[in-house]
Amino acid sequence: MTAVQVIRSEWTKIRSVASTVWTLSLAVVVTIALGMLISALSRSQFDSMPVPDRLAFDPTYVSFAGMSLGQLAMIVFGVLVVSNEYSTGMIRVSLAAVPQRATFLFSKIAVATGLALVVGICTSFAAFFLGQAMLGPHQARIGDPGVLRAVLGGGLYMTLIAMFSMGVAAMLRSPMLSLGTLMPFFFLISNILGSVDATKKIGRFLPDQAGSRIMQVVPRADDVPYGPWGGLGIMVLWVIAALAGGYVLLQRRDAQ
């Protein structure tokens, strides 16, 4: 099969699996709905905030509050795209049809990444505009300095989360094992390392903590040694490492 045929095949697989469509839909709904809710609450409480909190208020970042749960759905999407074939046994058929394993893996990742990027960018813009509408007089505008970068960055962040999950799933192959690794990593280990003084310098280089900097417009009063694009670059390195690991193990293992 040619690369174009493999890409078409992978697109058909993604469209035909209901779980992947539902996870992307859930990512959109949760991200936007929670962002609107937090934005509305922030507006109602703004006048009672301490002065330092009002000065550090980042209306753009507030509208992305739903990303914390939205990325959960993107993780599930990334895992299912890769590991579904292992759990059903279809991987043997797929590799028999496409013996070039690099073509097989990266065609799958390319199709899923393109879909995640479209969903991520649309979700990020919708979350921003609807969140700002909830903030009323405290809202930011898309033309304000740094805002467009943050909104585009939100879509890139969601896409990279999905790609990282694809790489981990390619290494672990099992959907349960992949989710059992990724969920604690992002929602427990990362938060602990980022909150404890002794480990903050390590936590700031984890993919979610570094990548989320791209969505911030108002600088934080901390000593993080990188800016928004530097943080996104660190996240990209994590993604490359995960995908490279998945490729190497796919080449070395049998189709089980």
Residue from 40, 62, 57 nearest 136 by CA: 40
Using pLDDT thresholds of 50, 70 and 90, give the confidence band for residue 252.
Answer: confident
5 with 108: CB under 8 angstroms?
Answer: no
Q: Is the pLDDT of residue 36 over 60?
A: yes
Domain count, the chain: 1
What tens digit of pLDDT does each residue of 174-220 get?
A: 889 999 999 999 988 898 888 887 788 888 999 999 999 999 998 88
Residue from 113, 125, 133 nearest 153 by CA: 125
Using pLDDT thresholds of 50, 70 and 90, give the confidence band for residue 223.
Answer: confident
Least confident of 20-24, 196-200, 228-232: 196-200
Mean pLDDT of the chain: 89
Look at residue 184 in the predicted model and tell me its pLDDT. Answer: 92
DSSP assignment letter at 187: I
If you write DSSP's letter for every residue of 65-134 in order, what string do you get? Answer: TTHHHHHHHHHHHHHHHHHHHHHHTTHHHHHHH---HHHHHHHHHHHHHHHHHHHHHHHHHHHHHHHHHH
Q: Which domain holds residue 243?
A: 3-252
Residue from 234, 219, 249, 227 nearest 60 by CA: 219
Residue from 228, 44, 242 nearest 154 by CA: 228
Neighbours of 52 (CB within 10 A): 9
Residue from 103, 89, 68 nearest 211 by CA: 68
Using pLDDT thresholds of 50, 70 and 90, give the confidence band for residue 254.
Answer: low
Q: Is the pLDDT of residue 51 over 90?
A: no
Q: Is the pLDDT of residue 18 over 80?
A: no
Q: Is the pLDDT of residue 10 over 60?
A: yes
pTM of the entire predicted model: 0.92
DSSP assignment letter at 194: H
Structure tokens at 224: 């993080």
Q: What is the 3-state secondary structure (H, E, C) of 6-31?
A: HHHHHHHHHHHCHHHHHHHHHHHHHH
% of the chain surpassing 90 pLDDT? 59
Look at residue 256 in the predicted model and tell me its pLDDT. Answer: 53
Look at residue 67 in the predicted model and tell me its pLDDT. Answer: 92
Structure tokens at 154: 């939100």
Using pLDDT thresholds of 50, 70 and 90, give the confidence band for residue 255.
Answer: low
More confident residue, 120 or 99: 120
DSSP assignment letter at 179: H
Using pLDDT thresholds of 50, 70 and 90, give the confidence band for residue 70.
Answer: very high
217 with 140: CB under 8 angstroms?
Answer: yes
Q: Is the pLDDT of residue 2 over 80?
A: no
